[in-house]
Amino acid sequence: MNRSAQQKSSAHVTTRRLLDMKQNGEKISMLTAYDYTMARILDRAGLDVILVGDSASNVFSGHSTTLPITIEEMIYHAKAVVKGVHDESGRAMVVVDMPFMSYQISGDEALRNAGKIMKEHGCDALKLEGGMIIADTVKRITDVGIPVMGHLGLMPQSIYKYGSYRVRAQEEREAEQLLEDARILEESGAFAIVLEKIPSALAAEATRSLTIPTIGIGAGVACDGQVLVINDILGLNREFHPRFVRQYADLNTVIEGAVRQYVEDVRQTSFPSPDESY
Ligand code: KIV
């Protein structure tokens, strides 16, 4: 589907549609993608939202945190994903993570970078980590017409502050702060909030108290939607098996097996056959 066809498609998932889904009790499905081919598959499969996550820093580039990824790298991934969705049914909403330090320095800089990311690849929305501390920035970005998805709980861009990836907001003070941050994000114009690795009861309370949808990752079933990293559900990473991931395939084994067979076939000269030659 080309750009103009996609613009006309009434099936394309919008912020309004996500709000309706919450109100109607329809769950929102979201996964990450970082390239054209995967985006086409996810869109074809009927996924509601594709997140071009800064987890690309981990699963695509091999860094140990999300901090090193740059705006240019996020734009590169986002362009490929947006093109994949446009060339398929064009239904999925594409949300792009603003990378570490692209929105924290000042409101002006955040606005400039948000505009740059939106203009250069034509995605639908941006995602920022943080609560009260980024509320003014969220307001400035949404005021110019750019939809913002919030992200609370475990915020991987702050991993050096936490010192671990353990469950967040288990103590009352942090839980109360999270509820307050969620309320402020909604008030500042956010259209949805990702809740990462927090107790299910707290996520349920946040979901009840907000009019905008919550999308959980390790936050229980009461959230209005769920998000996971595509590499994790496909079993592409042998070393990473947190409790909140459900693995739907074992592509690591499938791919390794296919490549072993290919290596063997080349060595044995059983590939290419006459039928595979000119
Ligand atoms: O970058 C990412 O993949 C994310 C999800 C874990 C929500 O932010």
Which position among 72, 196, 205, 276 bears the catalytic label?
A: 196
Is the minimum distance from the CB of 157 to ligand 1 under 6 angstroms? Answer: no
Number of domains into which the chain is organized: 2
Q: Read off the CATH number of the domain in which 49 is found.
A: 3.20.20.60
Examine the domain organization and report whether 137 and 203 are in the same domain: yes
Whole-angstrom CA distances from 250 to 34, 121, 184, 231, 262 are 19, 32, 40, 10, 19
- For residue 229, the ligand 1 atom closest to its alpha carbon is 3
- For the chain, residues with pLDDT lower than 50 are 5-6, 8
Could you give the CA distance from residue 75 to residue 255 in angstroms, rounded to a whole number?
A: 28
Residue 268 lies in domain: 250-278
Examine the domain organization and report whether 243 and 254 are in the same domain: no
**Residue 93 contacts residue 48 (beta carbons within 8 Å):** yes
Examine the domain organization and report whether 22 and 65 are in the same domain: yes
Is the minimum distance from the CB of 55 to ligand 1 under 6 angstroms? Answer: yes
pLDDT of amino acid 223: 98
Examine the domain organization and report whether 62 and 113 are in the same domain: yes
Examine the domain organization and report whether 69 and 121 are in the same domain: yes
Mark whether 73 is an active-site residue.
no
Examine the domain organization and report whether 122 and 196 are in the same domain: yes
pLDDT of amino acid 122: 85
pLDDT of amino acid 120: 85
Examine the domain organization and report whether 17 and 128 are in the same domain: yes
pLDDT of amino acid 8: 46
Examine the domain organization and report whether 183 and 170 are in the same domain: yes
pTM for this model (two decimals): 0.95
pLDDT tens across 181-191, in order? 999 999 999 99
pLDDT tens across 122-159, in order? 899 999 999 999 999 999 999 999 999 999 999 999 99
pLDDT of amino acid 7: 54
Whole-angstrom CA distances from 149 to 4, 61, 129, 215 are 25, 24, 9, 10
pLDDT of amino acid 174: 98
